[in-house]
Structures are given as structure tokens and as C-alpha cells.
Amino acid sequence: MEILWPYENGEVGEFYYARYDHPALAEVERALGALDGGSAVLFPSGTGAATALALGLLAPGDTIALASGAYYGTGRLFETLARWGLRHVEFDQTGPPPDGMQLLWLEAPSNPLLTMPDLAAAADYPAPVVVDSTVATPVGLRPLEHGADYALHSATKALGGHDDVLLGVVVCRDPAAADALRRFRALTGISPAAEPARLLLRSLRTLEVRVARQAASAAVVAERLSTHPKVSTVRYPGLGCLISFDVADGEAARRVETGVRLIRNATSLGSVASLLESRHRWEGDRVPAGLLRLSIGLEDVDAIWADLAQALDNA
């Protein structure tokens, strides 16, 4: 497919150059906007969406209040942006946010400790409020209906759902804010290509049934994990596909992640395939050594449990 559309009689049409817009992008943004109840702006990854939102909204000297325990990469991104004068502080998102911030960044639920933000406490905040609702998905939570200004997703996860798409999206409550973000996207070139946008459209057709089944299976697996003698803590917020749980130590976690057969030992979440990994390898400074993150896929729930149980029994 070409990335340009010729002018007609010298006039610029709806599409002219793919960095600004293209048909698959326009179509998938309409679908994503409807899911979250706002105006969607697509980016080449969830991290690209976060970068564009932070740089598009803020100026040097501004401070972001970030939910502690939010996706590790988000804190790393803000550390990287410190070179350009953006500051961030962490706070406990289960309580009221700190005063005087220029942007509030919540995560619903946080990955991988799975705390839920106090959305009511953040609703009247004088600065813009972003909710990264990647794990909840719009099927589980529509943050704009709870007073947030922006819902952000790594569409790489449940929205894409098949481990073959890297994309991110910001859904804005205010259509003018979406237009400003689109202008920023075109000027900075953080623009998504057509092929992943088309793959995402395919995936969205099955989003609701996938998430419903994943959440139902996750509730069953979380319940069974909570009575397993090798498991000490189970975290499951009651929505979405993601569970985290602790085994004795890092050695035991390694035996579990290398002992599963049906469940894939890989990073990421929200896929049709169940995925499990020790998070200590990535964020050892802030999670227990024995923490395992499990994303429940569409396999038969008893087959998922049988695989996990044999790996735990042998750990």
C-alpha cells in the first residue's frame, strides 16, 4: 500500500501523506474512540503514546505525579525525559494525589502489583489526569466516565491480543485535545503504520469475548492459586486477565517459569496465549524475588491450571 494520495485538481484531500493520517488509522481511531467514549489518537507503541502525551502536554520544569508500582517502563521513560527538564514523583494511587502537580498519571490496575487507583479522589484534580488502563481494557473500565481526561493503552496487549501488533493509543475526553495530540504526532513523526493499524482492527472485533473469557478464567485460576501450598500471596483485582503471585524465592520462581509447558514463558500480557514470567529480572528493585506475573489466555481453564499446578508442585 502506498503512503501518499495524489491531490485532485490541485486540491489536498482527506488523505495525502501517511505521517498525518491514513484510511486504516482513521478507521481504527473511530473504533477505539467508541470503546472508551472519547477521541482516540493512535501511536506506534504504548510507550510512544506515553512519550507523546507527556511531551505534548508538559513543559520543562513541570512535574508528573506517577502512581507508584505503575508499569516499570513508564517510570523509566520519565527518568529519561528528566534530561529535558520534566520531573516526576511517585505516590500511592489508592489514596488522594499530591497537590501542585502538572499531570497525574494513574494505572488501572497497576502492573504487576495490581492496585486500583482511587479515581474519585483524582476526578476533580486541577491538572490533567491520565489513566493507563491497559490491563483493565475498555471492556473492564472506561476511565473518561470516572473523570479522567485521558485513557491510555498499550494496544500491544489485550486490544491487539495476538502478540503480533505493537501499538498504543491515547483516548481524549476533549476532541480539541485529540486534535492537538494528532498535530504533535505528525510534527514529531511518532505515527503508526498501516499494517499494524489493520491488524488492530481485526483484533477489536473479538475484544469483548476475549476479555470476558480471560477474566472468567483468571478468577478461577486466582482462586485455585490462593489455596496452593507453594503460593504465599495472590493478587487479582477482579477484572482483566492479569494475576501476580509469590512463591518462596527467586529460585522457586525460576523453576515455575521454566517448568510450564502450555503457558509460554514470555513477557507481555493480554494475549490469546497464556504468558508467565518472573518480573524480578526486569524490576528487581521493587518487586519480591518470588513474584510471578501470569496473563491468562483463551486456553481451557483446567488445562491452564493443570500446567501451572504441575510446575508449582515441582518447584
> Which residues of this chain interact with ligand PLP, rule CB under 6 A?
45-47, 71, 73, 107, 111, 132, 134-135, 154, 156, 166, 168
CB 97 within 8 A of CB 65: yes
Nearest approach, Cβ of residue 87 and ligand PLP (Å): 20
Beta strands in 29-102 (DSSP E): 39-43, 63-67, 87-91
Chain position whose Cβ is nearest to ligand PLP: 46
Smallest separation, CB 77 to ligand PLP (Å): 9
Is the CB of 195 or the CB of 249 nearer to ligand PLP? 195
Q: DSSP readout, 124-156?
A: T-SS-EEEE-TTTHHHH--GGGGT-SEEEEETT
Q: Of the two residues 155 and 312, which places its CB atom closer to ligand PLP in the complex? A: 155
What's the gap between Cα 48 and its chain centre? 12
Q: Are strands 150-154 and 103-107 parallel, antiparallel or unpaired?
A: unpaired
Give the shortest CB-91-to-ligand PLP separation in angstroms: 17
- Cβ of residue 268: shortest distance to ligand PLP, in angstroms? 6
Find the shortest distance in angstroms from Cβ 312 to ligand PLP.
Answer: 24
Sign of CA dihedral 246, 105, 29, 140: positive
Nearer residue to ligand PLP within complex by CB, 115 or 134? 134
Query: Which CB atom, from 265 or from 310, has the smaller least distance to ligand PLP?
Result: 265
Q: Which CB atom, from 93 or from 134, has the smaller least distance to ligand PLP? A: 134
Which of left, alpha, beta for 286 (phi over 0: left; psi -120 to 50: alpha)?
alpha
Q: How far is the CB of 45 from ligand PLP (least distance, A)?
A: 4
Alpha helices in 206-247 (DSSP H): 207-225
**What is the DSSP-derived secondary structure letter of residue 144?**
G
Burial class from Cβ neighbours inside 10 Å (0-12, 13-18, 19+) for residue 261 reads exposed
Q: Give the nearest distance from C-beta 48 to ligand PLP in angstroms.
A: 7
Nearer to ligand PLP, 33 or 240 (CB): 240
| Rounded Cα–Cα distance for residues 71 and 90 (Å) | 12
Helix (H) or strand (E) holding 36, with range, is: helix 23-36
Grid cell, residue 283, equals 524490576
> Under a CB-based contact definition with an 8 Å cutoff, are residues 127 and 100 in contact?
no
Given the complex with ligand PLP, which of 108 and 301 has the nearer CB atom? 108
